[in-house]
A and B are shown apart, each in its own frame.
Chain A
Amino acid sequence: MRASMIVIAVSAMLAGNVFAQEVGKSAPSFDVPGASANVRLADLKGKVVYVDFWASWCSPCKQSFPWMNDMQAKYGARGLQIVGITVDRKREDAEKFLASTPARFMVGFDTTGKVAEAYKPKGMPTSYLIGADGVVRAMHVGFKDSDRAELEREIEAALTAAKR
């Protein structure tokens, strides 16, 4: 009796804990409104998908946009698709951000927070590199200038693996 009470008490204390999307597991599907048509992960089957969670209120996200534009331009032909998912509650906030920080890749509006709930990013921005097989190959929290080389190397590796 006493033991079970302790178990209940401890589990109640840990109830708020979350488990993030893990590397090596299959990526949760999503279907969110985009700039014109809906953005669906299922539609990008066979492509290497770089999913980036961003918000208009996050300044490192702003720095990552020019880099993501470059990556999309450089590797798009080889089968890379960058998808920027905004977690802004109001779509207008994200639109305002996009007006000053153009995105030349797919953008999805996750105003309900459902996609973020599935992936549970640990910070903003967080990116997931999904291989052509739909498995998460890498996860990266934050964006610093020094991260660029490493992230690009991972993208190249994923594209090479997709070809085989």
Chain B
Amino acid sequence: MKRLLLVACVLATTACSSLPQVQPWQKGNLAKPEMAFDSDPLDTRFMDHTYFSKEGASGGAGVGGGGCGCN
């Protein structure tokens, strides 16, 4: 019984891996502006500037591209 429970637990950890992935051509909703982490680019720049000035390390914040896989 205990072993069965263990097997069930282990299998449950991989359960989501069999879900279909969002394909590049299905990313229309993800590309909407309201889906972005930063709603105001100017405000984000300002916050970033404060952040890296405080940390003494510029760069490393964010990556290029909007998830379309074209960079």
Q: Which residues of A contact B (CB under 8 A)?
A: 9, 12-13, 15-16, 18, 53, 55-60, 87-89, 93, 113, 116, 120-126, 141-143
Residues of A within 8 A of B25 (CB): 53, 55, 87, 113, 116, 121, 124
The answer to the question of B19 belonging to the interface, with a C-beta cut-off of 8 Å to chain A, is: yes
Secondary structure call for the B interface: loop
Interface bits B3-22 vs A (CB < 8 Å: 1, else 0): 00000000100100111110
Task: List B residues 1-52 near A (Cβ within 8 Å).
Answer: 11, 14, 17-21, 23-28, 31-32
User: Within the complex, what minimum Cβ distance (angstroms) separates A67 from chain B?
Assistant: 14
Q: Which residues of B contact A (CB under 8 A)?
A: 11, 14, 17-21, 23-28, 31-32, 66, 68-71
- Contacts A12-B18, A57-B31; is A122 near B66 (CB within 8 Å)? no
**Contact A13–B32 (Cβ < 8 Å):** no
User: Within the complex, what minimum Cβ distance (angstroms) separates A50 from chain B?
Assistant: 17
User: Within the complex, what minimum Cβ distance (angstroms) separates B25 from chain A?
Assistant: 4
**Contact B70–A113 (Cβ < 8 Å):** no
**Contact A13–B17 (Cβ < 8 Å):** yes
Which residue, B14, B25, B26, B28, has most C-beta atoms of chain A within 10 A?
B25
Closest to A110 in B: B25
User: Within the complex, what minimum Cβ distance (angstroms) separates A117 from chain B?
Assistant: 8
A121 and B5 CA atoms in complex are apart in Å by 41
Q: List 7 A-B contacts (CB under 8 A).
A: A18-B21, A55-B25, A60-B70, A120-B23, A124-B68, A125-B70, A142-B70
- Besides A13-B18, A56-B28, 6 more A-B contacts (Cβ < 8 Å) are A16-B18, A16-B20, A60-B70, A87-B26, A123-B69, A141-B69
A16 and B18 CA atoms in complex are apart in Å by 6
